[in-house]
Amino acid sequence: MNAVSIVIGSVCILLIAYRLYGTFMASKVLKIDELEDEKVPTPSQKFNDGRDYVPTNKWVTFGHHFAAIAAAGPLVGPVLAAQFGYLPSLLWLLIGAVIGGAVHDLVVLFCSMRRDGKSFSEVAKEELGPVAGFCTGLAMLFIITITMAGLSLVVLHALERNPWGTFAVGITIPIAMGVGLYHRKTGNLKLATIVGFTLIMVAVVFGHYLNGTWLGDLLTFDTKTLAIILPIYAFFAAALPVWLLLQPRDYLSTFMKVGVFAALIVGVIAINPSIEFPAFTNFLGGGPVVAGPVWPFVSITIACGAISGFHVFVGSGTTPKMLNRWKDAKPVAFGAMLVECIVAIMALVAAVSLEPADYFAINSSPEKYAELGMEPVHLAQLEDEVNMDLEGRTGGAVTLAVGMTYIFKAVPIFENLAAYFYQFVILFEAVFILTAIDAGTRTARYLIQDFFGNFIKPLKRMDSIWANITASAIACIAWGYLLFSGDISSVWALFGVSNQLMASIGLIIGATVILKIADKRWYMLTCLIPLIYLYVTVNVAGFWMIKNVYLNSANAGYNVINGVLSVIMLVLGLVIMVSAITKWAQLWKIPQPELVKRSKSEVA
């Protein structure tokens, strides 16, 4: 098997799915064409305030939406799931993204838009009742906290004992702030972009000369120190105005993201590396990277590349307040998810192009690797070329960087630049994760203030500095504890279960709305089929982790807090599911034409 066959075949499948299934979902199931014909205003048109609700060009909205949803998940999840072989991961990416992820993102966005762009907890409250709305809001709070820990854990081993990478990542903070200040003062985005991106490239090159210097020693951290630094950074970063750090760094990193993966696609097609992994490995029952069996954990581990509950925060957050036309929902939501799937497939290709022994040497602890009886093939050579010790750098980020470097060093012009390319990819991954941490910590702060503000009234005041600082501190301490006390195999699984549970909730609301608006009730199956698979998968995986890891004192991942969080999330999911089934039974008794007639009044 070669990489070109996988890439071209996958792209063709996703293009066909977008053209056929995406059109069916938008036109037949959600009846978006009818809303266009009736000239029903979108939330951005209806509440245009020039601040939150702003009618925006669909391609600008697509760029914002894609940058927001495509964080570390599609980069790291497929790399970790490669443990099972390339075929289980590839099949789930393609099937899951088309039948699950793209449908989920489209219906979530549509549900929010027909409710004036409200948050998903408010949508759940209006569609299923106050109990489901309360449970959805609480689940969102738990999930965003766990997500921050899962994303942060990815970058720890990439920056561990890596002063070059730490410097390159750290220097993006003052560079982004400089870009933000200059653009705000002059309005000259072009010059700010050129200077900012040039300085980032200079930082990557300069970082090479830090090894062995006092500054290099100062920037050499172990994982526990980094696990303390990241939440402290997030606390201050979340307090800064978005135009000063978050927006300019997100903007600059988007260029990096598009450029890196465009280059990777071109490189794979030009070089056509062979796939060194078998279709199925000997670790289908669990292995050194992912402890659990291929099912349900291939779906749990891959997470965002196929279907992601994290997208609910975006699809019911900023995006529904930006769309200028109802029909733009198809390219923005359905299309962006399929593009994210391509990103995940490219990450998988980079991982499985490595020799399996080298992959497991990087992605396993030295103790676990010694038990495998494998001998590294090219690892020593790769370490010399990137000037880094690679063994035992778990988390997926390093494996992806090494895999991409391994592919590109076959190009003569890059043959002697492997170390620079490796650090650039590490920078590219870390910057996106830090941007997600900034935005996620802000979101967690809003949720904490909104939820706990019902019990502590002063905390609900968004204009209160004390309330903002308190909520930010609670958010950072919560996910910082999970980060400090966990390892990638336990925390990433916790993130995966919570993420897929949120996706199940998104499909539950989607199925409810489709039952009310569709001309044919069987259209509800577009959400029910992925929902049934995902809900069963989440509960099996959650129970497995609780029994075998979190509450098993003999396991290295033993953590009562993680176990309690898992139980709470599964119970919340059950309550929402019961509420939904009760609602569906009530709606089913009403003739479909009457349901459709009533539903039209919900879209003002």
DSSP letter at 102 equals: H
For the record, the structure tokens of 44 come out as 């951005």
500 lies in some domain: yes
595 lies in some domain: yes
33 lies in some domain: yes
284 lies in some domain: yes
296 lies in some domain: yes
> What are the mean pLDDT values of the chain's consecutive 10-residue runs (604 residues total)?
88 96 94 87 85 78 78 83 94 96 95 87 88 86 83 78 84 85 80 84 82 85 88 81 70 71 77 88 90 92 88 84 90 93 91 91 87 86 83 83 82 76 79 75 79 78 78 88 72 83 94 92 95 95 91 84 89 93 93 84 66
Domain count, the chain: 1
- Angle, helices 336-352 vs 73-81, to 10°: value is 40
- The helix (run of H) or strand (run of E) holding residue 312 is helix 311-315
92 lies in some domain: yes
Biggest distance spanned by C-alpha atoms of the chain: 76
Looking at residue 112, which CATH number applies to its domain? Answer: 1.20.1740.10
208 lies in some domain: no
Side-chain half-sphere exposure of 323, counting CA atoms within 13 A = 30
The 3-state secondary structure of 397-442 reads: HHHHHHHHHHHHCCCHHHCCCHHHHHHHHHHHHHHHHHHHHHHHHH
Domain range for 374: 3-161+221-600
Side-chain half-sphere exposure of 564, counting CA atoms within 13 A = 4
What is the pLDDT at residue 380? Answer: 87
193 lies in some domain: no
Residue type, 575: V
Is the CB of residue 425 less than 8 Å from the CB of residue 409? no
List the beta bridge partners of residue 2: 274
How far from 67 is each of 154, 344, 427, 433, CA to CA, in Å? Answer: 18, 14, 16, 11
Give dist(CA 210, CA 223) in Å, integer.
20
What is the pLDDT at residue 462? Answer: 64
How far from 251 is each of 413, 422, 457, 604, CA to CA, in Å? Answer: 28, 22, 36, 35
The pTM (predicted TM-score) of the whole model is 0.86
